[in-house]
Amino acid sequence: MRLTRCGHACVRLEQDGVVIVIDPGNYTDARALEGAHAVLVTHEHVDHFHEPVLRAAAEADPALRIWANRSVAEQLDGLGGGRVTVVGDGDAFDIEGIGVEAHGELHAVVHPDFPRVTNVGFLVGDTGTATVFHPGDAFTVPARPVDTLLLPVHGPWSKTGEVIDYAREIKPRSALSIHDGGLSESGNALADHMLEVCLQGIGADYRRVAAGAGIELT
């Protein structure tokens, strides 16, 4: 499986000619959806779901399928033809031979003044293959092992210590930074240093993948 970072929280996964894009938001490279077969959306916040762009991509390609929670699906009303599938915690489905599981229910708490929205993480990959978990904006722990954790490094709902503890609980073989668009270059460097040091104890390989860059996952 090949992973390409497309800015902030968005990644593009490619395996056996199948392209899956997760969380194309308003910080996402506009080319992220080119040639995509499927899109997974964790929740409705605009840095993860940019409705006009996703709708335009779906209208341009009648074969494009979308899986998301109900609130996102309702905003994509009118696409028709069963193009959008509502999923929630515990659901499992198949995208062109690639297994996907949905995990989690709610966005992490930002502040009591802000209502919590539905958030569902996606575990991509079957048992015996490389598995990749995108938690969205939550510290959800899937019920089975994760090879590669897409680690939300920074957000208004977290602090670095919680991010470290989350990765330690998951115990992935590797952790890749996502959700870092709100940090400066020096802020990212500090977060990277702390995560590299603190995840050594669980044997996890932590690294930052630059926007637009790709790596092979094994």
What number of CA atoms fall less than 13 Å from residue 42's CA on the CB side?
34
Q: Is the pLDDT of residue 85 over 70?
A: yes
Q: In terms of Cα–Cα distance, which of 87, 6, 8, 90 is closest to 45?
A: 8
- Over 80: is that where the pLDDT of 218 sits? no
The string of pLDDT tens digits covering residues 4-56 is: 999 999 999 999 999 999 999 999 998 999 999 999 999 999 999 999 999 99
What is the average pLDDT across 80-96?
93
Asked if residues 104 and 89 have their Cβ atoms less than 8 Å apart, the reply is yes
Q: Which domains does the chain have, with CATH numbers?
A: 2-210 (3.60.15.10)
Strands 174-178 and 205-207: parallel
Q: What is the pLDDT of residues 121-177, one digit of tens each?
A: 999 998 666 799 999 999 999 989 999 999 999 999 999 999 999 999 999 999 999
Residue 80 pLDDT > 80, yes or no?
no
Alpha-helical runs (H) found in 23-180: 51-60, 70-75, 160-170
Residue 89 reports pLDDT greater than 80 = yes
E strand or H helix at 195: helix 185-199
